[in-house]
Amino acid sequence: MKFNVSSSLEYYVQDEGTLIMNIHALRTPAQTILEESLEVDPYYKSEELLAAHGESRLVRFLIDRSTSLKVNYQALVDNCYKEIQVEALTEVPIVQLPPDVLTYLNPSRYCQSDKLYRFADKKFGAIEPAFDKVLAITDWIYENVEYLSGSTNSQTSAYDTVTELAGVCRDFAHLGIALCRALSIPARYFTGYSYLLKPADFHACFEAYLGGEWIVFDATKLAPLNGLIKIASGRDAADAAIANLFGNFTCNVVNVNCELAEGEFKPVFYNKDYPFGLSYI
Amino acid sequence: MKFNVSSSLEYYVQDEGTLIMNIHALRTPAQTILEESLEVDPYYKSEELLAAHGESRLVRFLIDRSTSLKVNYQALVDNCYKEIQVEALTEVPIVQLPPDVLTYLNPSRYCQSDKLYRFADKKFGAIEPAFDKVLAITDWIYENVEYLSGSTNSQTSAYDTVTELAGVCRDFAHLGIALCRALSIPARYFTGYSYLLKPADFHACFEAYLGGEWIVFDATKLAPLNGLIKIASGRDAADAAIANLFGNFTCNVVNVNCELAEGEFKPVFYNKDYPFGLSYI
Amino acid sequence: MKFNVSSSLEYYVQDEGTLIMNIHALRTPAQTILEESLEVDPYYKSEELLAAHGESRLVRFLIDRSTSLKVNYQALVDNCYKEIQVEALTEVPIVQLPPDVLTYLNPSRYCQSDKLYRFADKKFGAIEPAFDKVLAITDWIYENVEYLSGSTNSQTSAYDTVTELAGVCRDFAHLGIALCRALSIPARYFTGYSYLLKPADFHACFEAYLGGEWIVFDATKLAPLNGLIKIASGRDAADAAIANLFGNFTCNVVNVNCELAEGEFKPVFYNKDYPFGLSYI
Amino acid sequence: MKFNVSSSLEYYVQDEGTLIMNIHALRTPAQTILEESLEVDPYYKSEELLAAHGESRLVRFLIDRSTSLKVNYQALVDNCYKEIQVEALTEVPIVQLPPDVLTYLNPSRYCQSDKLYRFADKKFGAIEPAFDKVLAITDWIYENVEYLSGSTNSQTSAYDTVTELAGVCRDFAHLGIALCRALSIPARYFTGYSYLLKPADFHACFEAYLGGEWIVFDATKLAPLNGLIKIASGRDAADAAIANLFGNFTCNVVNVNCELAEGEFKPVFYNKDYPFGLSYI
């Protein structure tokens, strides 16, 4: 399927500052960028950086003082996610995990898995196989955490959400990741454009490493799993923020859009009748 | 200079489990391994992994149940750290940082730089140049945080230490890292063997990215900066633990040693008469 | 001096609920209520309660569902605070503290003095006498914590503020209290009307127990210390909230006013030329 | 029933310091002290204080420097707890709560009920009547929190325990209190001697205010509810510590004992066949 995605952001930059944006659709075997444009008004030379493990395409600008900046990104993306039989999505023994996956077992800023061992084990430890275990985690989050705009802030972490039980997509993702890691399942943050998400916005969910694949899960259940266009993955939102602002910035407008450009869309949510996991890598 | 380093650890493994150790001296341009041995008793096949960015050499074992395991590591290491003129160790503008360094600006599990902006700015924001700024951070930690064995645990983070003002080398390092990142200076955790550290143990300190180099700093001031043998670097202790244990392990003995094998040792601590920063990369 | 104080609050009560308000000026030897009225529209029978230690005058209502409630309080208060020579405001040894004062040495919800011992001791431990010690605490808070509306919420505590260094009057008070208690000086929260506070609002500051008196301190320095009309004291904001709402309430309007009714007002702030501490008890 | 209770504690006091002990059995209508002795070696004059609301009997000493202090307390106590029919233990509407009970609805240092509203409501909000609701809270804690000596410290709070799911009697009590308050049921900390507790030690549990009575609950289920000798109640452990030490103290020995002196003891635990709640007031 092909999707038109776009985002437009406006900033006011008081003093000279550096802006690092993370709004480009990622290039992966499962995701092809057919067309793409980035407009910056006023014009600033930008530099595209491929982040450490190829998990995000950053764009970096040095912006002058007293600048009202508009950034418009548009892309036509061919989304060819993989469908993998659930039976194949087994837990990979620690002793067989690839080195670059091991890091996603460690606790991170917003996913303090080291404080959630007992909780995770008690709730989900006995559920097998691993795919069902991760599904049970997303179901528990969905049923227990209230999706409530404005209930959390940029410091809110999984350790808060597991008790306070309210948050937005970012918080749902952090909690899913933390619980997976607490159970020795590698997990990481996923940001992207999302078809049929209402209201339209950037979306966040997570990937768990099962059967040697990074399988996408979304505890918010707000949008179909097969309508995602991946922007980035990372340990948590600290790695995959939409924008990192170094200086005195004000963000005034964010508009995000994702539309079907071609193909037929049959929404996918994991359930008994759909025996696959989806991967965007 | 050449150093003989060794560590011996003993575990009791109740159920089958996976052990990932991080005790090998790292191979870097500034550090050559001349001889090295790893003994595991009873014998288990091990697998050496080079972690994601080449920042640690992990060794992984699958251990049977009911096993008393002894691990002995020994190495002869030629330490050829670089001395770089302080004048060259300027702050690298965000816009010029290499992509793989950007990640060390982000907050992490034990280094919540996002909660320390005001504190860091107020205390150290006005100090220039950057090398002096980082030195001021280490001096402040040294003067204000009490080195107190047993005062902290594996969940203690920089956010605790900045207020509770007690900790061990790991906590001193986390606070140094968090304060640097809060000031937009990339910083990362450094573990290693340490000559003249008393009592002998693994040591932790940190590296800040100045003038395009990873410069080592140690807020504990417990050992000379030029007697370090690097084991690993990472975002914080979550990335660079001496051992990650997946299963039911008990650690019974840890012995660590570091001795001068050849060469003359003149201890280095940063001060006015020593116009260099040290790098182990 | 006499002050006219008033506050008007509006609530929408969705389901039946209980409202406990704490907006009445307190009756103390140092504060006489000359006139007072409470209007509730629509009319609800209210009950006045004197809280546990006589430290607040609560008014309690049971409100019907779907009610738009207006509460107006007005009073004419004769403020006869005591001025006590600084020389007399010595630290009371623990062994001589009255039993009902001991409780104000304990940590509380928003004043975790147990986590601030080292910090408090290092910064203020050596300052003598005790009045100067508390002044030094208020000065440090004033100089280091930024007064920033909206930077904190109802869960913010002294432990956050001491590091994050931003907050409102409530946060300034909590930090002052926590630091006093960490140094074994009893301290408690003080809410009141405040003359010349801009913008007009309820104010919060704190009292420290020195020389056998509860002496008022205000780390915000936003209003004169002698223009306060005490509403309540308590361990922290948990005890002295303006309103406790049990049910589904929305607060729409808060207007607060405090004007001089009679007498000449010479603003008092503690400084070298004013050798007194003020008490409202 | 009559119980012999005793406790002996030993301290080394390096510098002159003040010791406030809270080990005396409380005098209440439901608990009569028949005999009592306190030995202090070397002899120090002590002063007995009745704490603010008569909820603890404190004993205060000023101890010289370099003193090895032994404190022995012994008492013969007639325990005449009340048994109240469960039907009578209804929830008291907020609008009818006595003023001195209201304070036990507020969050406190170790019982952050303000952060547990959603959690408490979701788990227990629908359970009626109130006695069953509190029972459900104790059952949930008993089933989910592991009793594990050494797993927590003096800073551990209900907010930690609800997620980390390990602790000792103090932590079980704090969590029970916090969950009750989050559901608008007044609750407070209870410390005492406990018959049949193994190993013998001071015990902590909690009281909830139901039907106009303070009813005792114990989420640890480690000892019968009718073998308690009350020492103190308070908001949480901050109010009811066994000892508060102001100075440089080391506690070396704690021995606690509780034996049946007269009468027949039939252990009581709440269950379907025992339709009463117990009160020690």
A92-134 pLDDT per residue, tens:
999 999 999 999 999 999 999 999 999 999 999 999 999 999 9
Please tell me if the domain spanning A2-79 has the same topology as the one spanning A82-239+270-279: no
Cβ distance of D53 and C52 shorter than 8 Å: yes
Cβ distance of D238 and C155 shorter than 8 Å: no
> Does the structural domain A2-79 have CATH classification 2.60.40.2250?
yes
Partners of residue A116 in chain D, C-beta under 8 Å: 163
Cβ distance of A163 and D164 shorter than 8 Å: no
In A, minimum Cα distance to D115 occurs at: A164
Q: Work out the mean pLDDT of chain A and round it to a whole number.
A: 95
Compute CA D97 distance to the chain's CA centroid, rounded to the nearest angstrom: 22
In A, minimum Cα distance to B100 occurs at: A52
**Under 8 Å between Cβ of C210 and C90:** yes
Close Cβ partners of C198 (under 8 Å, ≥ 6 residues apart): C222
Alpha-carbon separation of residue B125 from A226, B117, B138, B182, D158 (angstroms): 47, 10, 14, 10, 37
Determine if residue D217 is left, alpha or beta; phi over 0 gives left, psi from -120 to 50 gives alpha, anything else beta.
beta
- Over residues D166-197, the pLDDT tens digits come to 999 999 999 999 999 999 999 999 999 999 99
With a cut of 50, which residues of chain C have pLDDT below it?
Answer: none
Judge whether C146 is closer than 8 Å to chain B, CB to CB. Answer: yes
d(CA A240, CA A247): 19
Partners of residue C122 in chain B, C-beta under 8 Å: 144, 165
In D, minimum Cα distance to C108 occurs at: D109
Close Cβ partners of D206 (under 8 Å, ≥ 6 residues apart): D173, D176, D177, D180, D187, D188, D189, D190, D216, D217, D218, D219
Judge whether C264 is closer than 8 Å to chain B, CB to CB. Answer: no
Partners of residue A20 in chain B, C-beta under 8 Å: 94, 102
**Under 8 Å between Cβ of A209 and A143:** no
DSSP reduced 3-state for C200 = coil
Least CB-CB distance to C122: which of B122, B162, B165? B165
In C, minimum Cα distance to B146 occurs at: C118
Partners of residue A62 in chain B, C-beta under 8 Å: 93, 95
Partners of residue C164 in chain B, C-beta under 8 Å: 115, 118-119
Cα angle for residues C37, C41, C47 (degrees, 5° grid): 55
User: Element (H or E) spanning D28, and its range?
Assistant: none
Cβ distance of C163 and B119 shorter than 8 Å: yes
Q: How many Cβ contacts (< 8 angstroms) between chains A and B?
A: 88
**What is the end-to-end Cα distance of chain A in Å, rounded?**
16
What are the residue ranges spanned by the domains of chain A? Answer: 2-79, 82-239+270-279
Partners of residue C53 in chain D, C-beta under 8 Å: 52
Q: Return the pLDDT at B51.
A: 79
d(CA D51, CA D240): 10
Cβ distance of A162 and D163 shorter than 8 Å: yes
Least CB-CB distance to B52: which of A53, A95, A154? A53
Q: Return the pLDDT at C98.
A: 94
Which residue is listed with tokens 């028949």? D34
CATH number of D82-240+267-279: 3.10.620.30
Chain A adjacent subunits, 3+ CB pairs under 8 A = B, D
**Per residue of chain D (281 residues), what is the pLDDT tens digit?**
999 999 999 999 999 999 999 999 999 988 999 999 999 999 998 889 987 667 899 999 999 999 999 999 999 999 999 999 999 999 999 999 999 999 999 999 999 999 999 999 999 999 999 999 999 999 999 999 999 999 999 999 999 999 999 999 999 999 999 999 999 999 999 999 999 999 999 999 999 999 999 999 999 999 999 999 999 999 999 999 999 999 989 998 899 999 999 989 999 999 989 999 999 98
**Largest Cα–Cα distance in chain B?**
57
d(CA A123, CA A140): 9
CATH classification for the domain delimited by B82-239+268-279, as one of 3.40.50.11890, 3.90.245.10, 3.10.620.30, 3.40.50.1980: 3.10.620.30
Judge whether A65 is closer than 8 Å to chain D, CB to CB. Answer: no
A46 pLDDT band, cuts 50/70/90, is confident
By C-alpha distance, which of B71, B17, B112, B103 is closest to B255? B71
The shortest C-alpha distance from B130 to chain C (Å) reads 23
Judge whether B114 is closer than 8 Å to chain A, CB to CB. Answer: yes
d(CA D101, CA D214): 10
Least CB-CB distance to A163: which of D119, D146, D166? D119
Q: Which residues in D163-181 are b (16+ Cβ under 10 Å) and which e? A: bbbbbbbbbbbbbbbbbbb
Partners of residue A114 in chain D, C-beta under 8 Å: none
Chain B adjacent subunits, 3+ CB pairs under 8 A = A, C
The shortest C-alpha distance from B175 to chain C (Å) reads 12
Which B residues in the span 166-205 are in contact with C, Cβ-Cβ below 8 Å? 166
pTM: 0.95
By C-alpha distance, which of C236, C131, C240 is closest to C177? C236
Cβ distance of C49 and D99 shorter than 8 Å: yes
The shortest C-alpha distance from B219 to chain C (Å) reads 18
CATH number of C82-238+271-279: 3.10.620.30
How many Cα atoms occupy the beta-carbon half-sphere of B80 within 13 Å? 9
Cβ distance of A118 and D162 shorter than 8 Å: no
Judge whether A119 is closer than 8 Å to chain D, CB to CB. Answer: yes
Judge whether B116 is closer than 8 Å to chain C, CB to CB. Answer: yes
The shortest C-alpha distance from B87 to chain A (Å) reads 24
pLDDT at B52 > cutoff 80? no
The shortest C-alpha distance from D101 to chain A (Å) reads 26
- Over residues A183-225, the pLDDT tens digits come to 999 999 999 999 999 999 999 999 999 999 999 999 999 999 9
Least CB-CB distance to A118: which of D115, D119, D164? D164
DSSP reduced 3-state for B122 = helix
Judge whether A164 is closer than 8 Å to chain D, CB to CB. Answer: yes
Judge whether B146 is closer than 8 Å to chain C, CB to CB. Answer: yes
In C, minimum Cα distance to D94 occurs at: C18
What's the ipTM? Answer: 0.96
Judge whether A102 is closer than 8 Å to chain B, CB to CB. Answer: yes
Judge whether A58 is closer than 8 Å to chain B, CB to CB. Answer: yes
The shortest C-alpha distance from B95 to chain C (Å) reads 27
DSSP reduced 3-state for D211 = coil
Cβ distance of B52 and A100 shorter than 8 Å: yes
DSSP conformational letter for C18: E
pLDDT at A54 > cutoff 80? no
Judge whether B36 is closer than 8 Å to chain C, CB to CB. Answer: no
Q: Return the pLDDT at C52.
A: 67
Q: Return the pLDDT at D253.
A: 85
Judge whether C140 is closer than 8 Å to chain B, CB to CB. Answer: no
In B, minimum Cα distance to C116 occurs at: B164
Of B253 and A43, the one with more pLDDT? A43
Judge whether B221 is closer than 8 Å to chain C, CB to CB. Answer: no
- CATH class of the structural domain A82-239+270-279: alpha beta
Pairing of strands A187-194, A203-210: antiparallel
